[in-house]
A and B are shown apart, each in its own frame.
Chain A
Amino acid sequence: MRKGSLFFCAFLMAIVAYAIFAATAWSFKTKLFPLSVSIPLLVLLAVQLLLLILGKEETNEGATMDIDFSVDVPPEVARRRVFGIFGWIVGFIALVYLLGFPLTVPLFMFLYLKFQSEVGWFTAIAITIVTWGCFYLLFQSLVHIQFEAGAIQTWLGI
């Protein structure tokens, strides 16, 4: 975990260092606000990194005000599931790019239910049809959101 914290802090520092570097080339008015934010930010991150390198442990008292992830699952399983769900999310975006939203919604729903949630064929198909119907009614018929066509349809000229 400590290695991860170090890496994350260093990653944030790299972003901020890039921001400072990019801002120096701008006019005074344009760079004033980003620089006045990013310089103290870099200092704070450097202090945090130093504390991490020196191995100062954080106490739980007054911990950050945010949710805690579940610790009931063995780390190996948790890691595998994290990569799994990230894979599904990236796959969803890739499908939207290739097929567009209207086709991705039923396809993704069915694939996730069948192969990730491992539900039966009937349940997977029924939920997919209901979801697609709701999606069509709400977003296409009622709210009229214009969804871009997928890359495949564009290539095929459909």
Chain B
Amino acid sequence: MFDAFIEGLILVLQWKAFSLMLVGMLLGFCVGLLPGIGGAATLALMIPFIFKMSPAEAFAFLLGMHSVAATTGDITSVLFGVPGEAISAATVVDGYPMAKKGEAGRALGAALMSSLLGALIGAIALALAVPIVRPLVLTFGSPELFMLSLIGISCITSLSGTTTRGQIKGFAMGLFGLLISTIGQERQSGSLRFDLGMMYLWDGLDFVPVLVGIFAIPEIIDLAVRGTSIAGDRPPEHLSSGVMEGVKDTFRHFWLVFRCSIVGVFVGIMPGAGGGVAQWMAYAHAVQSAKDSKERGGFGKGDIRGVLGPGAANNSKEGGELIPTVAFGVPGSGAMAILLSGFLIMGIMPGPEMLTKHLALTFSMVWTLAIANVITVILSLAILDQLAKLTYVRGGLIIPFILLLVFVGSYTANGQLADLIVTLIFGALSYCMVLFGWPRPPFVLGFVLGKVIETYLFISMTRYGFSWLTHPIVVVLMMLMAVVIAYPYVQQRRQRSRERAHA
């Protein structure tokens, strides 16, 4: 085992594999920065280039690119409030307000360092978990995956205001997100729902135009209204010390980063849940770490923990997603499905052979995830000061750039003008949501999870009727969901009784 581990490292460090990994990383860096062009789409574009590579070279190239895209996606989220990747949307919620407070360097330092720790934890999980995780994945059928999705949606309680009114609005927005996710063809019967007679809506709404509209448009409007730079008229922070402060924050909240990384690994292992869910579950967990309602109220206004949690989960889930892909040939996400095609092109069949005959290759993937992220974060930390200075550029100069990024990004979803209109509509909706105090994160969580929940519910009902409700893991997950829902209320009650005791 140890020999294979070292052999995996040697495979990655061979000059050709290493050079290809660097090329992949460069591509991933750019793709991560550009909104809309996701890591999965770029993986698909790069697949034709691997035909003449050896398996170790091909995976160094592909994984180097894919893992870095998740890391650098946080940069545009923090600097401009535009999610660089769909899986970086949660970073906007606290990262961008930090940039507005003149703390872009700190937010970027924290996002990158937590991403690095997350990626390393994901890589370690991949190395350790392959033999252990097999029974877990095999016992998770559609009822268990449905319950897991419900646990994801139950995070709404943590993503909403703590008052009754806040909870009403949070749940309403979560349900509204679920309702919007039902637009398009119903997968089981093929019937069309809410298509308004437009062929564009048959496939449902794509994540990118909706998420970019939801997060970017209100920020652009606010920037235009203020008429200042993103950081406003605040004196520039000592940018380099800000970056270091962010790095230190990651270690100050190490256990939060660790727990959020584990959330990312776990969600990554479960097929179908994806990074969109992992980041919000991690964000909700970060919110739960607030000691009282005052601290909790700071989330969404620039709390560093709101950057650390999603940053870690985004990257750790890469290692998690690879576990079922490598060990059983079950892709955990769209990107992994494309990577699976890479395995087949290389003539490698994922499954038990990856743990015996190709163990060194499996470990080379672990090393690629780790090395690519270490190099990217070190290089990024060196240029973060310059990037953070962008938040001090006059708003009038930066707004047209952001608008171009937003609309070119959303256009890449389907290559249709309708993508831009969807972005505009959801941007206007999101503006009203912020203006009238309706929280956006529950909406996004509902929208991301809607299709998954409906699909697994349908399969569970078709296969098991109502008997799936008595499956032991389902019962355990139900109890876990009850804990997730009740936790904020228990926390609030405890806080009140503490305050009463002090009075």
- Using CB atoms and an 8 Å cutoff, list the residues of chain A in contact with chain B: 1, 4-5, 8-9, 12, 16, 19, 22-23, 26-27, 29-30, 33-34, 37-38, 40-41, 44-45, 47-48, 51, 56, 58-70, 72-73, 77-78, 81-82, 84-86, 88-90, 92-93, 96-97, 101, 105, 108-109, 112-113, 116-119, 127, 131, 135, 138-139, 143, 145-148
The verdict on B93 contacting chain A, using a C-beta distance below 8 Å, is yes
Given contacts A82-B221, A105-B404, contact A66 B166 (CB under 8 A): no
Contact of B179 among A9, A34, A117, A148 (CB under 8 A): A34
The verdict on B206 contacting chain A, using a C-beta distance below 8 Å, is no
With CB as the reference atom, state the residue of chain B lying closest to A84: B224
With CB as the reference atom, state the residue of chain B lying closest to A12: B176
The verdict on B159 contacting chain A, using a C-beta distance below 8 Å, is yes
Given contacts A44-B168, A138-B30, contact A65 B93 (CB under 8 A): yes
Contact of A101 among B224, B411, B436 (CB under 8 A): B411
Contact of B400 among A65, A77, A108 (CB under 8 A): A108
* B411 / chain A contacts, CB cutoff of 8 Å: 101, 145, 147
Selecting from B259-267, B327-335, B437-445, the interface stretch reads B437-445
A61 touches B162 (CB 8 A): yes
Q: CA separation between A122 and B186, bound complex, in Å?
A: 54
Contact of B227 among A22, A37, A81, A147 (CB under 8 A): A81
A37 touches B182 (CB 8 A): yes
A45 touches B172 (CB 8 A): yes
B168 touches A8 (CB 8 A): no
* B194 / chain A contacts, CB cutoff of 8 Å: 19, 22, 34
A85 touches B220 (CB 8 A): yes
A64 touches B182 (CB 8 A): no
The verdict on B457 contacting chain A, using a C-beta distance below 8 Å, is yes
Contact of B437 among A38, A63, A73 (CB under 8 A): A63
B162 touches A27 (CB 8 A): no
B159 touches A65 (CB 8 A): yes
- CB contacts under 8 Å to A, within B4-38, are 30, 34, 37
Contact of A67 among B34, B96, B166, B171 (CB under 8 A): B96
With CB as the reference atom, state the residue of chain A lying closest to B162: A62
Closest CB-CB distance, B433 to chain A, in whole Å?
8
With CB as the reference atom, state the residue of chain A lying closest to B407: A92
- Using CB atoms and an 8 Å cutoff, list the residues of chain B in contact with chain A: 30, 34, 37, 45, 93, 96-97, 159-163, 165-166, 168-172, 175-176, 178-179, 182, 186, 188-189, 191, 193-194, 217-222, 224-227, 287, 293, 296-297, 299-301, 394, 396-397, 399-401, 403-404, 407-408, 411-412, 415-417, 420-421, 424, 427-428, 431-441, 453-454, 457-458, 492
Q: Max chain B CB contacts within 10 Å: which of A5, A66, A92, A113?
A: A66
B437 touches A4 (CB 8 A): no
Contact of A64 among B169, B396, B412, B416 (CB under 8 A): B169
B396 touches A73 (CB 8 A): no
Closest CB-CB distance, A86 to chain B, in whole Å?
7
* A146 / chain B contacts, CB cutoff of 8 Å: 415
Q: Max chain B CB contacts within 10 Å: which of A37, A41, A48, A65?
A: A65
B93 touches A67 (CB 8 A): yes
Q: CA separation between A118 and B227, bound complex, in Å?
A: 12
A41-B176, A117-B396 given; 19 more Cβ-contact pairs under 8 Å: A37-B175, A58-B165, A63-B297, A65-B159, A65-B296, A65-B300, A66-B93, A67-B301, A70-B225, A73-B226, A85-B399, A89-B424, A92-B403, A93-B407, A96-B417, A113-B397, A117-B400, A131-B404, A138-B30
